[in-house]
Amino acid sequence: MADTGGIGLTKKKDENFGEWYSEVVVHGEMIEYYNISGCYILRPWTMAIWETMQAFFNAEIKKMKIKNCYFPLLVSPAVLEKEKDHIAESEVAWVTKYGKSDLKVPIAVRPTSETVMYPYYSEWIRGHRDLPLKLNQWCNVVRWESSNPTPFIRSREFLWQEGHTAFATKEEADKEVLEILELYRRIYEEYLAIPVVKGRKSENEKFAGGLYTTSVEAFVPNTGRSVQGATSHCLGQNFAKMFDITYENEKGEKAMIWQNSWAYSTRTIGVMVMVHGDDKGLVLPPKVASIQVIVIPVPFKDADTQAIFDACSKTVEELSEAGFRVEADLRDNYSPEWKHSHWELKGVPLRIEIGLKDLEKKQVVCVRRDNSAKVDIPIVDLVKEVKDMLDKIQQNLFDVAKQKRDASVQVAGTWDEFTVALSNKKLILAPWCDEQEVEEDVKARTKGEIGAAMSLCSPFDQPQLPEGTLCFASGKPAKKWTYWGRSY
């Protein structure tokens, strides 16, 4: 029975977060590095998580009468030119050759799809009966990041969904913005067990082509950095004017549509790894784990090995029939101890061990990945107890993450309090005058090697702002509470 050492991590989360993260996503079999910088192979362990979120989101948007479609990957420069103020030119990748011949006109690889889709919205929308038009596509996009690429968080190619909708009225558009944002909150909190703040971006941080941007913001306490988890934009009528998307309303008058766009990407998976992972590896929430339960035989020299293996197979069968995602590791060239470490590294929420004594006692041993708690479970109660434990693991992961996030929130009323909180890697809640020049000044004054502080969002759930409260940065009357900090 082989015991191959070295499957554990060599870096600790609290000591070298960046290298720990790189080890976790590779050794946990989430990704593999590719031979083009900033591009990564998404392995089945990752895709299973993505597909779970995709299934949830697809079902919910279809309830909203949003339909899936697919638009081409390639964008003509003439069309992309219309959106030059909204995208970073340095991030656009170009196709310049076919075979050994040069293209007469280079073709861009989509960095986003507004300019790809909206010329056709202009053709498809003629009258008020053509509205609303609500489309979503699941696709890849390419943005040639020049800063240090990080798997999931900042990569040159990533998977996402992008919704693009058109309405007759602003009220309809406003309503959908918040409905979609709530779905993003549910993905993070209910599936990935990550607490987020829902709020509105500042004028500086909103999507440049939009009327306003809402987002869900997550936080990684170990690095003191926020992550923009997903965005839901009201585009207003900016793109309608740009692409002449008009319709004849019920009065027979020419009118301009109102538009939204919204997206979340595989970045969600990186946030999950950062928030829940530990020094043993990944810690996966049961709702998204490819395997929720791993069953491991624990044979002894003189034990009836076949009987133990049969019990493992029966356990898998019973739990599978009950709807759980479960497998048995019956490989005979690895020790039980090696298997324990292997499946802990991969983050499987629950481990079931079955040995000779367990057969005699008609029980199994269950070990939780989130807190290492070990408990004996009678076989007759197996399905009920496993369901209960997985529910508790899911809730506990969220509770622990929220406790750590909340402990990282620091209220700062003055500039001095703000800078101290920033140096202590806090998520800062501060009263702000809501002036763009002040926000730009905060960025300039905090700029350094590890990045400047920025406004993250103004939460919809606003704490009371006492009369006379002053902006932490300018000393002017404050208009709102806003979260600030460094961000990925």
- Mean pLDDT in the chain? 95
Question: Bridge partners of 62?
Answer: none
pLDDT band at 19 (very low <50, low <70, confident <90, very high): very high
CB 6 within 8 A of CB 342: no
Distance CA 428, CA 421 (A): 7
Q: Residue 97 CB: number of other CB atoms within 10 A?
A: 9
What are the tens digits of pLDDT across the range 399-452?
999 999 999 999 999 999 999 999 999 999 999 999 999 999 999 999 987 789
Are the CB atoms for 147 and 155 separated by under 8 Å? no
C-alpha–C-alpha distance, residues 183 and 171, integer Å: 19
Report domain extents, the chain. 17-276, 293-395, 408-487
Query: What phi and psi, each to the nearest 5 degrees, are found at residue 59?
Result: -60, -40
Reduced to 3 states, what is the DSSP secondary structure of residue 352? Answer: strand
Buried b (16+ CB within 10 A) or exposed e, 150-176: bbbbbbbbbbbbbbbbbbbeeebbbeb
Class of domain 408-487: alpha beta
Q: What is the mean pLDDT of residues 283-289?
A: 98
- Give CA–CA dist 231/112, Å, rounded: 13
Q: Are 168 and 258 in contact (CB under 8 A)?
A: yes
CATH dotted code for 293-395: 3.40.50.800
- pTM summary value: 0.96
- What is d(CA 383, CA 174) in angstroms, rounded to the nearest whole number? 44
User: What are the tens digits of pLDDT across the range 238-282?
Assistant: 999 999 999 999 999 999 999 999 999 999 999 999 999 999 999
Q: What is the pLDDT of residues 159-216, one digit of tens each?
A: 999 999 999 999 999 999 999 999 999 999 999 999 999 999 999 999 988 999 999 9
Amino acid at 323: G
281: β partners: 278
Q: What is the CATH number of domain 17-276?
A: 3.30.930.10
Q: What is the pLDDT of residue 90?
A: 82
Q: Distance (Å, rounded) from C-alpha 293 to C-alpha 346?
A: 12
Query: How does pLDDT run across 125-150, given as a tens digit for each residue?
Result: 999 999 999 999 999 999 997 778 99
- How many angstroms separate the CA atoms of 211 and 305, rounded? 66
Q: What is the chain's Cα-based Rg?
A: 26
pLDDT digits (tens, 9 = 90+) for 41-61: 999 999 999 999 999 999 999
